[in-house]
């Protein structure tokens, strides 16, 4: 499994880090930060080869790059198959409304955009673009929105992604028997309940997961000072093989 980092920072783009999102095997995009299209082009990704976009939640740093990607597909890059978009309740209406607002026209039947939408809910299971995906609720801004982590099976390997979350049991479920867990590690020390994990949570998590499960840290305020076994802090435009 190959993971290309399009952005590894939090909402405030610390030290110029891009907003957190990544591409798996050139086909599966997890979140779509505002700079995602530029990052994809910098990495010379075959845009027509992207099959699915997984949106963890509707905070702006995780999905406001999607209208630019869709505009690319409408105006520049032809696709051979529909783009699958997976996300929280209301994903289709929300995406269509934002696209119309940002590009001054609605998606119509005459549009070249061919999209399929899949809504997820707590514990839901689906198969999208050949990927088995389970959505688990995360502990993040619960009073304002739904936030999900994804547990996926891609090419025989399990990849977990927390999106944004503070510590919760579901984080452990995402990482169980996984080849890699891409995990929120916003703060260099303690996490904040209901918002984000910190590196103290990552140390706890490292002790509970199988030693063979890699941890790839993202949504960073800064890279941690301490090294942990089989744990890597993501860097923009880097590729990691698992």
pLDDT tens-digit map of 80-121: 999 999 999 999 999 999 998 887 666 765 577 899 999 999
Position 110 scores a pLDDT of: 57
**Structural domain contains residue 238:** no
Q: What CATH number should be reported for the domain holding residue 170?
A: 3.60.15.10
User: How far apart, in whole angstroms, are the C-alpha atoms of residue 59 and residue 45?
Assistant: 25
Q: How far is CA 164 from the centre of its chain?
A: 9
Question: What is the reported pLDDT for 179?
Answer: 98
Numbers of helices and strands, H then E, in the chain: 6, 14
8-33 in b/e form (b: 16+ CB < 10 A) is bbbbeeeeebbbbbbbbebbbbbbbb
Q: Is residue 241 part of a domain?
A: no
Domain holding 181, by residue range, is 2-12+19-231
Q: Is residue 105 part of a domain?
A: yes
Task: Judge whether 88 lies within some domain.
Answer: yes
Q: How many domains does the chain contain in total? A: 1
Provide block-wise average pLDDT over 10 residues at a time, the chain (242 residues).
Answer: 98 96 99 99 99 98 97 93 97 94 70 90 97 97 94 98 97 98 96 94 97 98 94 98 98
Nearest-angstrom CA–CA distance, 131 and 129:
6
Residue 142 pLDDT? 87
> 240 lies in a domain?
no
Integer Cα distance of 57 and 24 in angstroms: 19
Identify whether 30 is part of a domain.
yes
* Residue 242 included in any domain: no
- pLDDT, residue 102, reads 85
Q: Is residue 86 part of a domain?
A: yes
What tokens appear for 161 in the block?
């992604």
């Amino acid at each position: 499994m190959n993971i290309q980092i399009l952005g590894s920072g939090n909402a405030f783009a610390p030290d110029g880090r891009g907003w957190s999102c990544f591409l798996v095997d050139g086909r599966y995009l997890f979140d779509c930060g505002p700079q995602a299209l530029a990052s994809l082009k910098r990495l010379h990704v075959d845009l027509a080869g992207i099959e699915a976009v997984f949106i963890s939640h509707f905070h702006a740093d995780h999905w406001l790059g999607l209208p630019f990607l869709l505009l690319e597909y409408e105006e520049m890059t032809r696709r051979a198959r529909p783009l699958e978009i997976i996300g929280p309740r209301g994903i289709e209406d929300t995406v269509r409304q934002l696209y119309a607002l940002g590009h001054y026209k609605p998606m119509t039947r005459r549009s070249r955009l061919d999209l399929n939408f899949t809504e997820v809910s707590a514990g839901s299971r689906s198969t999208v673009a050949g990927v088995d995906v389970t959505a688990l609720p995360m502990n993040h801004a619960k009073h304002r929105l739904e936030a999900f982590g994804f547990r996926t099976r891609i090419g025989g390997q399990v990849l977990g992604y927390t999106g944004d979350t503070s510590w919760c049991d579901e984080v452990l479920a995402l990482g169980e028997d996984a080849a890699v867990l891409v995990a929120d590690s916003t703060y260099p020390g303690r996490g904040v309940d209901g918002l984000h994990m910190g590196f103290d949570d990552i140390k706890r998590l490292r002790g509970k997961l199988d030693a063979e499960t890699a941890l790839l840290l993202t949504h960073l305020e800064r890279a941690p000072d301490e090294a942990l076994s089989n744990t890597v802090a993501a860097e923009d435009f880097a590729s990691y093989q698992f």
